[in-house]
């Protein structure tokens, strides 16, 4: 590497370091959504923040290099000279590949770790779908079961532990492990509870199970995130609530009694409406 | 023209002509007749299926008859019936503009025809996008009815997918790959022409969709929503099948040409990197597109014969469609971007006047992307309820694909380092590509991590990601290629000052329009909606205004191209960029026969910085004087 | 020459697209109530009325037939599906239901929700064909529902009883209910019975096209 090459490299390295530090400091101030209403949402927020922080030096580096090269290595006006005939440098190529691989595998590892913490799919012992009242707790064996039924074009929610009562708004108790069973009665929808950090596709004939552990009270918005027809954009509900456990017990009891005069079909993990018959 | 042979042969060939001359007008006429006939046949045989069989059969028969009318049946029928006919239509059978409207087996003519077809499709897709953005000006009051709005969204996306899958390989692959490898034609000129002529029927069929009520499923056509759609969805089935066939046909042709028709001395390690980009995309096209065609035929059966491949109540599964579609869909997006990588890595050495740095690792990167793209498709299904144990594997494979993709940046940087950059218009677009694809790539990493994907999937974040990679990446590369190769294809330069205005107009408006969409997605706006939270109205209105500006920049570009084609004066030199690749050493306009004698290549490409330029090919292989 | 042809083609396509997307059902403005409903009498709120019919085939309706419709055999709400009501008022819907029962997929919708007083007034024909009327909170049998009228954003869900087979010709059930609207905005309403017969899961056709089984409530 000759003197001018060293100059260029030094200039770029210093500029990159300075701008990256500035960029990372700014990135660290950003509070990434979706927030901390649930444990899953907190995990997702911190992962998004981490990726923003990691991405900043990469972004700064590339933009800096392109801008610097466009200025420092431009053709002298009126001339048509060639650059030096460099066709490669094995050490640099290996260094780059290894560096990118390290970043990639580190990110993948963090992601897999986060996934294992929040999904808990392998630690759940008993099967879902049983009736009978359930206690609400935070241990892994007490999970509030809620079924999310997607239909064109609204979500309804059933509580199998409370007689299969069905509600048009999702209400969850705070500090609870909730097991959501998402299914659909017609086409593919996707249940996206933004502040809860939950998204699960509602596939007809499939019981898609996902987990959420609530940590704070507050309201949340539910939207459909998979195109399901003309009212897909209108398939949202801003009145989801996470409430205290006492309030939840009161609410679900009121729900049950308000539905004592109608007969809902028995709770089932999937519903199979007949595909071509009008109604049914 | 046919000729009588002497009596030395056993059979006396007969002299026959087709009843109708085969040209585009016959093609259109037969296409319409075929459509009508197909509708009658389909409705006669179909079940009570809301008329889908008729429309599907009409489109299929119409497309086939169009191809017959254009002239694809002439040669097979001649061989079948023993007529004597030349294996290719005579070059001067059609003259002037009429030549470009009709069947030709000359790869250069096909390249130009393809370019026009792609630009037309892009224009219709762009008009659709403007309607879409207009509807999003208000958060709750739609300007268009929601079913029509979704049809516009779907048509915009399907037409743009058609463009993106063929817009580099079609025009530039067909035109320049034979030149770059030193041959006079491609391996299968008839297949090459077929891959082009499947595009107009596909385009017309897609544009006919609103006549039948449109379809509201987006370009992914998820079942069972697509099976609820009316006859408008049949356009999607047939149109996409035609494009899938075109992908296979073009891929087979391209692969065979590069593998078996390279001139002497053109070894694998001397191929211009653009050829490698087109080659790797063709591998994906050949093997991924048949999956789509199969899946579409299953949907067609569901819509006509009451099968239930995708209806879970009767034993089918919507997962089947999702998986089949994305097994095609993910390699498909690499079909979009690999030729774009090829263009950028091809142009930067010529405008930086330095050899491509890291040629071999660039090839490894392209082939690595090709291989890995088969193993990542389930990242579109992370939240679909797939077995949880699958998610870590696909997260890892998806993140790994950013390693070979990053190699493109490595190679670009190595080439730019200590070079002598001429800031021509194509170079500006290549640098713009690097910036846009950087953002697209980083956002892809955000999407590949499952916990973050839970918030980002199906939102405007993923929409911004693929617009940055496809529009900011591939479309910028296509525009760079047009500015670069226009002088070779037409003999005229495009106005450089106008080009620079165009670049800044397009680059700034594109980034201002699409960067806020990342925020929209993170802030709870799903895709394909016309209703959103009122707090996001300011953001959406900003995006819509800049989208209008972006569209106007593309209209400006169309003006530059049309002006350049018809009003700029012909070039005095054959090599305005002083580039040292083979296509620029040939005269402009290119003669019918590229090389009078097949050349022998003597050195690797990108011969910059070595002092006196060495000849690329052995002397004496220059082509014959241009034909009239 | 080529440029002119292409420009003409483009203009044709743009015009065609424009006409395709323009077909918004016309807006029906609610009428001021001639007399307020018993449930809200004396509260002093402004009340307006919207009167529609819902039919089994839009080409053959009793009050507002549309024989020239593109889909005369489709179910639909007539004469239009876009309603305009004043903000901060009470809206009374009077729906003449002429269609036969199809049955609810989700029996939750058999119970009326979000309406004033929780009850809707229905005049109907019973299984013997005798006219009856009364105030109800729900349908006796979810299988008797022909359609529903629901505005999910306002929490309004009202089932509409199907016309009995024994009812006389050219008759209909009339369902009346009221709900409150608040500030200005545009809300969508739809039917929750999958009544697009012949389409997968019954939600295609009229359910997926504006102007039949779904529309807008514009509050101004």
* pLDDT tens track for C57-92: 888 888 888 888 888 888 999 888 999 999 888 899
* pLDDT for the residue B17: 58
- Report yes or no on B592 lying in a domain: no
* pLDDT tens track for B530-581: 999 999 999 999 999 999 999 999 999 999 998 998 888 777 777 889 888 8
Is C14 an interface residue toward B (CB < 8 Å)?
A: yes
Is A34 an interface residue toward B (CB < 8 Å)?
A: yes
* Domain carrying residue A153: 144-258
Mark whether B311 and B222 lie in a shared domain: yes
% of chain B with per-residue pLDDT over 90: 68
* pLDDT for the residue A279: 40
Q: What does the DSSP assignment read for B96-146?
A: HHHHHTS----HHHHHHHHHHHHHHHHHHHHHHHHHHHHHTTSSS--SS-H
Interface test with C, best of B128, B143, B228 (most C CBs within 10 A): B228
* pLDDT tens track for C138-159: 888 888 889 999 999 999 999 9
* pLDDT for the residue B246: 97
Interface test with C, best of A152, A184, A204 (most C CBs within 10 A): A152
Query: In chain B, which residue's Cα lies nearest the Cα of A186?
Result: B224
Mark whether B80 and B116 lie in a shared domain: no
* pLDDT tens track for B184-203: 999 999 999 999 999 999 99
Mark whether B465 and B390 lie in a shared domain: yes
CA distance C171 to chain B (A): 30
Which residue did the predictor score with more confidence, B86 or B361?
A: B361
Strand partners, C28: C83
* pLDDT for the residue A1: 57
Is B218 an interface residue toward A (CB < 8 Å)?
A: yes
Q: What does the DSSP assignment read for chain A?
A: --HHHHHHHHHHHHHHHHHHHHHHHHHHH---TT-SSBHHHHHHHHHHHHHHHHHHHHHHHHHHHHHHHHHHTBPPTT--PPPP-----HHHHHHHHHHHHHHHHHHHHHHHHHHHHHH-TTT--SPS---S-----SSTT--EEEEEEEETTEEEEEEGGGTTEEESS-EEESS-EEEEEEEESSS-EEEEETTTTEEEEE-BT--EEEEEEB-S-EEEEEEE-S--STTGGG-EEEEEEEE-HHHHHHHHHHHHHHTTTS-PPPP-S-----SSSS--
- Name the residue among B178, B213, B197 with its Cα closest to residue B245: B197
- Report yes or no on A214 lying in a domain: yes
At residue B174, does pLDDT exceed 80? Answer: yes
At residue B626, does pLDDT exceed 60? Answer: no
Structural domains counted in chain A? 2
Mark whether B117 and B243 lie in a shared domain: yes
Contact B226, C197 (CB under 8 A): no
Mark whether B68 and B197 lie in a shared domain: no
* pLDDT for the residue A176: 84
Mark whether B30 and B64 lie in a shared domain: yes
Cβ distance of C21 and B131 shorter than 8 Å: yes
Domain boundary among B567, B593, B619: B567
* C contact residues 165-194, partner A, Cβ 8 Å cutoff: 188, 190, 192-194
* pLDDT for the residue A140: 47
Mark whether A223 and A175 lie in a shared domain: yes
At residue B305, does pLDDT exceed 70? Answer: yes
Mark whether A51 and A149 lie in a shared domain: no
* pLDDT for the residue C26: 83
Mark whether B294 and B401 lie in a shared domain: yes
Mark whether B122 and B23 lie in a shared domain: no
State the average pLDDT for chain B.
Answer: 89
User: Could you give the ipTM of this predicted complex?
Assistant: 0.90
Q: Which residues does chain B have within 8 Å of residue A94's beta carbon, measured at their own beta carbons? A: none
> Whole-angstrom Cα distance, residue B289 to residue B195?
13
Is A91 an interface residue toward B (CB < 8 Å)?
A: no
Mark whether B261 and B189 lie in a shared domain: yes
% of chain A with per-residue pLDDT over 90: 50
Is A63 an interface residue toward B (CB < 8 Å)?
A: yes
Structural domains counted in chain B? 2
Domain boundary among B86, B113, B128: B86
Mark whether B43 and B128 lie in a shared domain: no
* pLDDT for the residue B504: 97
Tell me how many residue pairs between chain B and chain C have CB atoms under 8 A apart.
Answer: 73
State the average pLDDT for chain A.
Answer: 85
Contact A181, A268 (CB under 8 A): no
Closest partner residue to C105 among A185, A235, A262, by Cβ?
A185
The CA-based diameter of chain A, rounded to the nearest angstrom, is 89
| pTM of this structure | 0.92
* B contact residues 45-64, partner C, Cβ 8 Å cutoff: 48, 50
CATH code linked to domain C27-219: 2.60.40.420
Which residue did the predictor score with more confidence, C43 or B569?
A: B569
- Report yes or no on B484 lying in a domain: yes
Q: Which residues does chain B have within 8 Å of residue C216's beta carbon, measured at their own beta carbons? A: 142
The residue-averaged pLDDT of B281-287 equals: 97
* pLDDT tens track for A63-122: 999 999 999 998 888 888 888 888 889 999 999 999 999 999 998 888 888 777 665 533
């Amino acid at each position: 590497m000759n003197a001018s090459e060293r100059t260029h490299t030094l200039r770029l390295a210093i500029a990159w370091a300075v701008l990256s530090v500035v960029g990372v400091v700014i990135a660290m101030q950003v509070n990434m959504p979706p927030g901390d209403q649930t444990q899953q949402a907190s995990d997702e927020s911190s992962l998004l923040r981490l990726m923003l922080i990691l991405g900043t030096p990469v972004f700064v580096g590339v933009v800096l290099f392109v801008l610097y090269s466009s200025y420092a290595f431009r053709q002298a006006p009126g001339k048509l000279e060639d650059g030096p005939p460099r066709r490669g440098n094995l050490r640099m190529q290996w260094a780059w590949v290894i560096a990118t691989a390290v970043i990639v595998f580190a990110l993948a590892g963090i992601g897999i770790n986060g996934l294992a913490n929040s999904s808990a799919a392998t630690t759940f012992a008993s099967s879902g779908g049983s009736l009978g009242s359930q206690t609400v707790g935070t241990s892994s064996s007490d999970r509030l079961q809620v079924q999310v039924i997607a239909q064109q074009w609204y979500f309804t929610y059933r509580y199998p532990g409370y007689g299969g009562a069905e509600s048009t708004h999702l209400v969850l108790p705070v500090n609870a492990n909730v097991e959501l069973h998402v299914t659909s009665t017609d086409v593919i929808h996707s249940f996206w509870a933004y502040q809860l950090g939950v998204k699960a596709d509602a596939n007809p004939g499939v019981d898609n199970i996902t987990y959420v552990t609530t940590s704070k009270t507050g309201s949340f918005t539910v939207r459909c995130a998979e195109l399901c027809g003309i009212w897909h954009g209108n398939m949202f509900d801003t009145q989801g609530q996470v409430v205290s456990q006492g309030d939840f017990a009161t609410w679900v009891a009121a729900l049950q009694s308000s539905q004592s005069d109608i007969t809902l079909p028995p709770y089932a993990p999937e519903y199979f409406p007949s595909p071509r018959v009008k109604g049914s | 023209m046919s000729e009588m042979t002497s009596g030395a042969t056993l059979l006396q060939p007969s002299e026959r002509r087709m009843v109708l001359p085969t040209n585009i007008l016959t093609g259109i006429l037969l296409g319409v007749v075929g459509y009508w006939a197909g509708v009658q046949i389909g409705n006669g045989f179909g079940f009570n299926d809301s008329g889908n069989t008729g429309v599907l059969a009409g489109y299929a028969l119409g497309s086939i008859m169009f191809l017959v009318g254009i002239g694809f049946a002439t040669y097979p029928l001649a061989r079948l019936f023993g007529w004597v006919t030349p294996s290719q239509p005579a070059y001067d059978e059609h003259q002037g503009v009429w030549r470009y409207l009709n069947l030709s087996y000359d790869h250069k003519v096909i390249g130009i025809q393809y370019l026009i077809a792609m630009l037309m499709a892009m224009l219709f897709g762009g008009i659709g996008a403007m309607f879409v953005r207009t509807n999003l000006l208000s958060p709750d009051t739609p300007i268009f009815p929601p079913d029509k709005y979704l049809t516009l969204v779907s048509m915009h996306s399907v037409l743009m997918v058609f463009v993106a899958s063929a817009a580099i390989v079609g025009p530039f692959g067909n035109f320049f790959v034979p030149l770059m490898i030193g041959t006079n034609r491609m391996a299968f000129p008839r297949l090459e022409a077929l891959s082009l002529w499947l595009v107009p029927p596909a385009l017309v069929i897609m544009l006919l969709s609103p006549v039948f009520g449109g379809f509201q499923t987006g370009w992914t056509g998820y079942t069972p929503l697509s099976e609820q759609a009316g006859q408008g969805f049949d356009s999607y089935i047939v149109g996409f099948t035609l494009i899938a066939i075109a992908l296979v046909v073009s891929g087979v042709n391209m692969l065979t040409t590069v593998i078996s028709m390279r001139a002497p001395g053109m070894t694998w390690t001397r191929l211009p990197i653009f050829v490698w980009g087109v080659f790797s995309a063709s591998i994906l096209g050949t093997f991924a597109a048949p999956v789509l065609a199969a899946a579409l035929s299953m949907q067609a059966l569901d819509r006509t014969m009451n099968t239930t491949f995708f209806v879970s109540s009767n034993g089918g599964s919507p997962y089947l469609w999702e998986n089949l579609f994305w097994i095609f869909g993910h390699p498909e997006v690499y079909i979009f971007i690999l030729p774009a990588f090829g263009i950028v890595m091809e142009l930067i050495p010529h405008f930086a006047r330095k050899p491509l740095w890291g040629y071999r690792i660039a090839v490894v990167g392209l082939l690595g992307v090709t291989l890995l793209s088969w193993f990542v498709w389930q990242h579109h299904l992370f939240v679909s309820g797939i077995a949880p144990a699958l998610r870590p594997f696909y997260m890892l494979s998806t993140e790994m694909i950013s390693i070979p993709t990053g190699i493109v940046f490595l190679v670009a940087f190595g080439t730019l380092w200590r070079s002598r950059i001429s800031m021509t218009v194509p170079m500006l677009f290549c640098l713009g590509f690097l910036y846009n694809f950087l953002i697209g790539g980083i956002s892809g990493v955000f999407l590949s991590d499952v916990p973050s994907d839970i918030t980002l999937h199906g939102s405007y974040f993923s929409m911004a990601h693929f617009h940055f990679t496809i529009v900011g990446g591939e479309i910028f590369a296509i525009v760079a290629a047009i500015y670069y190769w226009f002088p070779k294809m037409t003999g005229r330069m495009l106005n450089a000052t106008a080009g620079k205005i165009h670049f800044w107009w397009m680059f700034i408006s594109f980034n201002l329009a699409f960067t806020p969409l990342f925020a929209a997605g993170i802030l709870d706006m799903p895709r394909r909606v016309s209703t959103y939270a009122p707090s996001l109205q300011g953001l959406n209105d900003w995006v819509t205004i800049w989208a209008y500006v972006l569209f106007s920049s593309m209209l400006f570009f169309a003006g530059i191209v049309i002006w350049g084609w018809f009003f700029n004066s012909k070039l005095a030199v054959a090599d305005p960029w002083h580039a040292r690749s083979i296509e620029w050493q040939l005269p402009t306009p290119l003669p019918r026969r590229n090389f009078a004698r097949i050349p022998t290549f003597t050195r690797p490409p990108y011969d910059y910085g070595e002092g006196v330029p060495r000849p690329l090919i052995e002397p004496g292989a220059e082509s014959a004087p241009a034909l009239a | 020459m080529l440029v002119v042809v292409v420009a003409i083609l483009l203009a044709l396509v743009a015009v065609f697209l424009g006409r395709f997307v323009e077909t918004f059902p016309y807006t029906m403005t609610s009428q001021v109530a001639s007399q307020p409903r018993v449930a809200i009498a004396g509260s002093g709120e402004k009340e307006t009325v919207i009167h529609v019919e819902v039919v089994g085939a839009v080409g053959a309706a009793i009050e507002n037939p549309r024989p020239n419709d593109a889909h005369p055999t489709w179910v639909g709400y007539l004469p239009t599906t876009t309603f305009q009501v004043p903000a901060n008022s009470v809206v009374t819907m009077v729906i003449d239901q002429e269609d036969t029962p199809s049955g609810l997929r989700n029996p939750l919708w058999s119970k009326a929700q979000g309406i004033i007083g929780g009850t809707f007034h229905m005049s109907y024909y019973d299984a013997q064909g005798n006219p009856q009327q009364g105030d109800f909170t729900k349908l006796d049998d979810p299988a008797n529902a022909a359609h529903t009228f629901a505005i999910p954003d306002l929490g309004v869900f009202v089932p509409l009883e199907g016309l009995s087979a024994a009812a006389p010709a050219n008759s209909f059930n009339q369902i009346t209910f009221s709900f409150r609207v608040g500030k200005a905005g545009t809300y969508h309403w739809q039917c929750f019975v999958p009544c697009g017969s012949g389409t997968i899961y019954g939600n295609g056709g009229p359910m997926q096209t504006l102007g039949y089984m779904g529309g807008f409530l514009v509050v101004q």
